[in-house]
Amino acid sequence: MPRLAPVTMTERPPSSRSMEPPLSFARSCAYGAAPSIVTPSSNSARYARRVWRTPVSVTLDFDGPVAIITLAPEGGRHDRDSIEALGDAAMYAGGRIDGPDAVRAILVTGDFGAGWTDDALQDGDGPGLDPLGAGIHALADVPQPVVGAISGSCHGPGLEIALACDIRLAAPHATFAQPETATGTLPRAGGTQRLSRAVGRAQALRLLLVGDTIDASEARRIGLISATYPEAELEDAALALARRIADRGPIATRMGKEAVQRGAEMTLEQALRYETDLTILLQSTADRAEGVRAFAAKRPPHFTGR
């Protein structure tokens, strides 16, 4: 899988993190150009609220240690540009694992999308195929835990983006579908594999082969999402969950995600051995020592990611 070009930007001093404006990722970012800096129209501490308006498919901003990726594909449908922009945002956020501006959790929100554009559907041959999925794979590969907040249609590539998230929450009216077989093709960004790992073989085949559209209630029943919240509360609930994850030991949460993901591809014996290896590695970290001290002192721990 080709690696997307990295995003470059001018960093602000750590002390100004709380006022760091969101980044807007347009097509140019996929080719290494610096993202445009968009100044919020509000000085609210929680500037992640969509208080700016820009004609781009993805915005990225930071609420302390939580990176917030907001999706806005034009017309609610994805193309090469929107997926490349997602990949750029994911790689930028995923690469911030050290220092005072480290990202400890990622929230994906906004419009997950109702499918591909007509041009993207026709772009199914040769070298054009893989980049359509590369950005979604980049999101799945970030080391930090990823929370998805889904409201509205989550079909085709939208569902594949959701499947690249580790924990999925949804509004009651959200709908989910993997309908590609209706056009004589298959999901191109992990839908056949991540879907079966999320809901099991039988339910995945039903969604893939029949193309059923299911609601949030059914999605929760089969394990596709973890919980539902009223639309007005969904993003706040998802951000609160991401903050709770970010408050925990960052090395431990990254290793926990890695253990589950890699363990799924191993035998039980191999996975248990891998779990033990990761636990041993954690014993030498400063965060583990701080966690033990904080527990004994009955105080909140102060993790540094070391």
Question: Is 9 inside any structural domain?
Answer: no
Q: Considering only CA atoms, which of 123, 36, 111, 46 is closest in space to residue 76?
A: 111
Residue 17 has pLDDT above 70, yes or no: no
- Report the C-alpha gap between 69 and 148 in whole angstroms: 10
pLDDT of residue 255: 95
Would you state the pLDDT for residue 54? 43
Q: How confident is the model at residue 41 (pLDDT cuts 50, 70, 90)?
A: very low
pLDDT higher at 55 or 241 = 241
Q: What is the CATH number of the domain that holds 255?
A: 1.10.12
As a 3-state breakdown, the chain gives helix, strand, coil percent values, each rounded to 5, of 45, 15, 40
pLDDT at 18 over 60: no
pLDDT for 11: 33
From 88, 31, 32, 81, select the one nearest 55 (Cα to Cα).
81
| 71 plus 89 within the same structural domain | yes
What confidence tens digit (pLDDT) does each residue in 159-183 have?
Answer: 999 999 999 999 999 999 999 998 8
Binned at pLDDT 50, 70 and 90, residue 31 comes out as: very low
> pLDDT grade, residue 21 (50/70/90)?
very low
Please state the separation of Cα 47 from the chain's center in Å.
19
- 175-to-146, 212, 218, 225 alpha-carbon distances in Å: 20, 10, 9, 11
Same domain, 118 and 80: yes
Determine the pLDDT at residue 136: 94
Over the stretch 138-164, which tens digit does the pLDDT of each residue have?
999 999 999 999 999 999 999 999 999
d(CA 247, CA 216): 28
Residue 7 lies in a domain: no
Band the pLDDT of 116: cuts 50, 70, 90: confident
**Contact 25/58 with Cβ under 8 angstroms?**
yes
Same domain? 185 vs 257: no
Contacts of residue 60, defined as CB under 8 A and 6 or more positions apart, other chains included, come to 22, 23, 24, 25, 35, 67, 68, 69, 70, 89, 92, 93
Same domain, 202 and 88: yes
On the question of pLDDT at 32 being above 60, the answer is: no
Are residues 265 and 196 located together in one domain of the fold? no
Q: Let me know if 211 is exposed, middle or buried by CB neighbors in 10 A (0-12, 13-18, 19+).
A: middle
Answer whether 0.75 is exceeded by the pTM.
yes
Question: What pLDDT is attached to residue 125?
Answer: 47
Q: Which residues contact 264 (CB under 8 A, 6 or more apart)?
A: 197, 271
In a domain, 8, yes or no: no
Residue 183 covered by a domain: yes
The pLDDT confidence band at residue 98, using thresholds 50, 70 and 90, is: confident
153 & 258 share domain = no
In this structure, are residues 119 and 79 in contact, taking their beta carbons and an 8 Å threshold? yes
- Concatenating the DSSP letter of every residue in 150-207 gives E-SEEETHHHHHHHTSSEEEE-TT-EEE--GGGGT---SSSHHHHHHHHH-HHHHHII
Q: Which residues, at least 6 apart from 258, have a Cβ–Cβ distance to it below 8 Å?
A: 143, 278
Do 22 and 135 reside in the same domain of the chain? yes
Domain count, the chain: 2
| 264 & 226 share domain | no
Q: What is the average pLDDT across 5-10?
A: 33
From 210, 228, 246, give the residue that closes a domain: 246
Q: Give me the domain span that covers residue 35.
A: 14-246
Residue the block writes with tokens 């100044």: 39
User: The CATH number of the domain where 162 resides is what?
Assistant: 3.90.226.10
**Residue 120 above 60 pLDDT?**
yes
- Assigned token pair, 220: 């929760």
d(C-alpha 296, C-alpha 294), whole Å: 5
**Residue 3, in any domain of the structure:** no
For the stretch 196-255, pLDDT in tens is 999 999 999 999 999 999 999 999 999 999 999 999 999 999 999 999 999 999 999 999
Instruction: Write down the mean pLDDT value for the chain.
Output: 82
% pLDDT > 90, the chain: 60
Please compute Rg for the chain using Cα positions. Answer: 19
Above 70 in pLDDT, residue 44?
no
pLDDT at 224: 98
